[in-house]
Amino acid sequence: MPSARTIAIIERPDPPELIAIPLRVDARKEPETARHRHARGQLFCVDQGLLVVHTPQGNWVMPPGRAGWIPPGIWHSARWHGPTSGWSVYVAAEACDQLPREARVLRVSRVLEAIIERATGWEPGEPLDATRARLAAVALDELRNADEERTLRLPMPRERRLAAIARALIANPEDGRSLGALAAWAGISERTLTRHFHQETGMTFAHWRQQAKLARALELLSEGQSVADVAFSLGYENVSAFIAMFKRLTGTTPARCMARERRAG
- Reduced to 3 states (helix: H, G, I; strand: E, B; else coil), residue 262 is coil
Complete DSSP assignment for 131-183:
HHHHHHHHHHHHHHTPPB-GGGEEE---SHHHHHHHHHHHH-TT----HHHHH
CATH architecture type of domain 156-258: Orthogonal Bundle (1.10)
What's the CATH fold of domain 4-151? Jelly Rolls (2.60.120)
| Residues 133/15, Cβ–Cβ less than 8 Å | no
Q: Does 156-258 match 4-151 at the fold level?
A: no
Q: Identify the weakest region by mean pLDDT among 70-74, 195-199, 238-242, 254-258.
A: 254-258
pLDDT: which is higher, 26 or 236 = 236
**What is the structure's pLDDT at 146?**
92
**What is the structure's pLDDT at 48?**
83
**What is the structure's pLDDT at 262?**
40
CA 183, 188, 189, 192: dihedral to nearest 10 degrees?
A: -110
**What is the structure's pLDDT at 116?**
95
10 Å Cβ neighbour count for 254?
Answer: 23
pTM > 0.95:
no
**What is the structure's pLDDT at 261?**
39
What DSSP character marks residue 90? E
| Residues 155/201, Cβ–Cβ less than 8 Å | yes
Tell me the average pLDDT across 94-100: 90
**What is the structure's pLDDT at 259?**
67
10 Å Cβ neighbour count for 104?
Answer: 19
**What is the structure's pLDDT at 1?**
63
pLDDT bin (cut points 50, 70, 90) of residue 265 is very low
pLDDT: which is higher, 244 or 3 = 244
Domain extent listing, the chain: 4-151, 156-258
Tell me the average pLDDT across 163-170: 94
- Residue range 116-150, pLDDT digits in tens: 999 999 998 889 999 999 999 999 999 999 998 88
Share of the chain above pLDDT 70, in %: 96
**Res 260 pLDDT > 70:** no
- Reduced to 3 states (helix: H, G, I; strand: E, B; else coil), residue 87 is strand
pLDDT: which is higher, 15 or 238 = 238
pLDDT: which is higher, 102 or 5 = 102
**Res 5 pLDDT > 60:** yes
Q: Across the chain, what does the average pLDDT equal?
A: 89
- Residue range 209-227, pLDDT digits in tens: 999 999 999 999 988 899 9
| Residues 252/261, Cβ–Cβ less than 8 Å | yes
